[in-house]
Amino acid sequence: MSTTITITGAGGQIGYALLFRIAAGDLLGLDEKVRLRLLEIPQGIGAAEGAALELQDGAFGLLEHVEVTDDAAVAFDGCDLALLVGARPRGPGMERGDLLAANGGIFGPQGAAIAANAAPDVRVTVVGNPANTNALIAAASADGVPVSRFTALTRLDENRARAQLAQTLAVPVDTVRRVPIWGNHSATQFPDVSHATVAGRPVHEALEAIVGDVPAWLDSTFIPRVAKRGAEIIEVRGSSSVASAANATLDHVRDWVHGTGDWTSAGVVSQGQYGVPEGLVCSFPVQSIDGEWQVVEGLEVSDWARQRIDASVAELVEERNAVKALGLL
Ligand code: NDP
């Protein structure tokens, strides 16, 4: 048996960072063979074909087959895992409505192609921005595929949040747990340390000893640093984050397929949990149990946290309204 994985925008930067790690077994482990389908728009086909040649030259024992195509029906045929990376970037002078319309034109047809061609239990992860609303559009266009099969990536935000806490506390990053992201993958996201622990002890206690006034530090330093980390990377590196985005994509899908020991974050379709309007693709604290994302329910949410969650959810509602007004939903 092998797993068929479709990567859209496979000729782009994140695609290039994903392909070789998937072929090396970093996604599904060293026992699972993979078949890769690389979807690109005609302008990107050359880059994807070049990556396919390099995959061949990698002589990866787990890689059964690679196909490059600009036809979504071919790309999603029998697809088990869909990584929707390709998206229309915001160009100079482009309004938000133009961006949503351009991406609706990509993610609507891809949702339909997934419904028509993919495996019945396909798992879809949207990376291309605006990821939450692109996932909403794809899910709405995929007749017959349960909406629980559509997710948006917020794992990079969570990884960034955990790494910032680990650095502040001078502890190994894997001792920092339970730092969910709520809301939209955007500057309004809320990285939440209310329930976080470090080596089993509340993070708040550990932070107090180092930063003093924890709420002030969260507001002035931690939350903006996490939310604006993408911009910081662009400033320092000269281009946007690539390998860390690919790494988080692998974390997300691996946990979805193999399960999580603890909470993590993912954009999933709301069923009304925590007062988030039903149907929005919103990031929540989640656990993957028996191959399904489940929102961690019953957490206490302070008024301070509530305000921040509500602000990000309000942005998701605005995006949904804009997309509806464009006739994309
Ligand atoms: P990247 O591979 O760098 O980025 C792809 C998408 O991922 C962008 O929408 C980007 O958003 C998003 N992204 C970047 N960082 C993160 C992050 N931290 N978390 C979540 N999402 C993130 O872009 P390239 O331009 O190098 O490649 C895009 C490719 O997609 C091109 O080759 C293009 O031809 C292709 N494409 C394919 C389509 C298709 O298959 N139908 C449709 C459209 C494009 P942001 O722009 O905000 O950084």
Say if 329 falls within a structural domain. Answer: no
pLDDT tens figures, 85-130: 999 988 888 887 888 999 999 999 999 999 999 999 999 999 999 9
The CA 105 to ligand 1 mean position distance, Å, reads 15
> Mean per-residue pLDDT for 158-164?
98
Whole-angstrom CA distances from 309 to 192, 274, 276, 284 are: 9, 9, 9, 10
| 242 class by beta-carbon count within 10 Å (0-12 exposed, 13-18 middle, 19+ buried) | middle
Residue 329 CB neighbours (<10 A): 18
pLDDT score at 93? 80
- Give the separation between CA 281 and CA 284, rounded to whole angstroms: 9
Ligand 1 pocket test target in 36, 37, 40 with most atoms within 8 Å of CB: 40
**Final residue of a domain: which of 152, 181, 205?**
152
Q: At 227, which CATH number?
A: 3.90.110.10
Q: Which ligand 1 atom is at minimum distance from the Cα of 153?
A: 20
pLDDT score at 147? 97
> Mean per-residue pLDDT for 155-174?
98
Q: What is the DSSP string of 160-187?
A: HHHHHHHHHHTS-GGGEE---EEB-SST
The first and second tokens of residue 265, run together, are 């974050």
Q: Which ligand 1 atom is at minimum distance from the Cα of 90?
A: 46
The CA 224 to ligand 1 mean position distance, Å, reads 23
**Final residue of a domain: which of 135, 152, 169?**
152
Say if 326 falls within a structural domain. Answer: no
Considering the domain architecture, whether residues 52 and 20 belong to the same structural domain is answered as yes
pLDDT tens figures, 181-192: 999 999 999 999
> Mean per-residue pLDDT for 136-160?
98
Say if 191 falls within a structural domain. Answer: yes
> Mean per-residue pLDDT for 29-46?
98
Say if 212 falls within a structural domain. Answer: yes
Considering the domain architecture, whether residues 27 and 118 belong to the same structural domain is answered as yes
Considering the domain architecture, whether residues 195 and 313 belong to the same structural domain is answered as yes
pLDDT score at 181? 98
pLDDT score at 261? 82
Q: Which ligand 1 atom is at minimum distance from the Cα of 127?
A: 21
pLDDT tens figures, 229-268: 999 999 999 999 999 999 999 999 999 999 998 999 999 9
Considering the domain architecture, whether residues 127 and 41 belong to the same structural domain is answered as yes
- Check pLDDT > 90 for residue 210: yes
Ligand 1 pocket test target in 41, 137, 159, 234 with most atoms within 8 Å of CB: 41
CA 316 from chain centre, in angstroms, equals 15
Q: How many CA atoms lie within 13 A of 187 on its CB side?
A: 4
Q: Taking CB atoms and a 6 Å cutoff, what residues make up the pocket around ligand 1?
A: 8-9, 11-15, 39-41, 43-44, 47, 85-89, 106, 127-129, 131, 153, 156, 185, 230, 240-242, 245
The CA 196 to ligand 1 mean position distance, Å, reads 31
Say if 183 falls within a structural domain. Answer: yes
Considering the domain architecture, whether residues 13 and 147 belong to the same structural domain is answered as yes
Which residues belong to the active site?
185
The number of folded domains in the chain is 2
The CA 192 to ligand 1 mean position distance, Å, reads 27
The CA 240 to ligand 1 mean position distance, Å, reads 10
Considering the domain architecture, whether residues 7 and 67 belong to the same structural domain is answered as yes
- Give the separation between CA 183 and CA 308, rounded to whole angstroms: 9
Confidence bin at 203 (pLDDT 50/70/90)? very high
pLDDT score at 241? 92
pLDDT tens figures, 217-230: 999 999 999 999 99
The CA 46 to ligand 1 mean position distance, Å, reads 16
Considering the domain architecture, whether residues 300 and 161 belong to the same structural domain is answered as yes
Say if 6 falls within a structural domain. Answer: yes
pLDDT score at 143? 97
Considering the domain architecture, whether residues 145 and 221 belong to the same structural domain is answered as no
**Final residue of a domain: which of 152, 169, 201?**
152
Q: Which ligand 1 atom is at minimum distance from the Cα of 230?
A: 18
Considering the domain architecture, whether residues 175 and 223 belong to the same structural domain is answered as yes
Q: At 52, which CATH number?
A: 3.40.50.720
- Check pLDDT > 90 for residue 80: yes
pLDDT score at 94? 82
pLDDT tens figures, 44-68: 999 999 999 999 999 999 999 999 9
Say if 8 falls within a structural domain. Answer: yes
Query: Is residue 88 within 8 Å of 44, Cβ to Cβ?
Result: no
The CA 284 to ligand 1 mean position distance, Å, reads 23
Confidence bin at 209 (pLDDT 50/70/90)? very high
pLDDT score at 96? 78
Considering the domain architecture, whether residues 164 and 229 belong to the same structural domain is answered as yes
Nearest CA to ligand 1 atom 31: 12
The range of the structural domain enclosing residue 48 comes to: 2-152
Nearest CA to ligand 1 atom 35: 9
> Mean per-residue pLDDT for 140-150?
98
Considering the domain architecture, whether residues 80 and 166 belong to the same structural domain is answered as no
pLDDT tens figures, 232-241: 999 999 999 9
Say if 92 falls within a structural domain. Answer: yes
Beta bridge partners of 123: 81
Ligand 1 pocket test target in 129, 237, 281 with most atoms within 8 Å of CB: 129
Ligand 1 pocket test target in 8, 85, 234, 235 with most atoms within 8 Å of CB: 85
Considering the domain architecture, whether residues 84 and 211 belong to the same structural domain is answered as no
Residue 323 CB neighbours (<10 A): 24
Report H helices in the chain: 13-23, 45-57, 72-75, 96-117, 131-141, 155-169, 203-211, 214-217, 223-227, 229-237, 243-258, 303-325
pTM of the predicted model over 0.85: yes
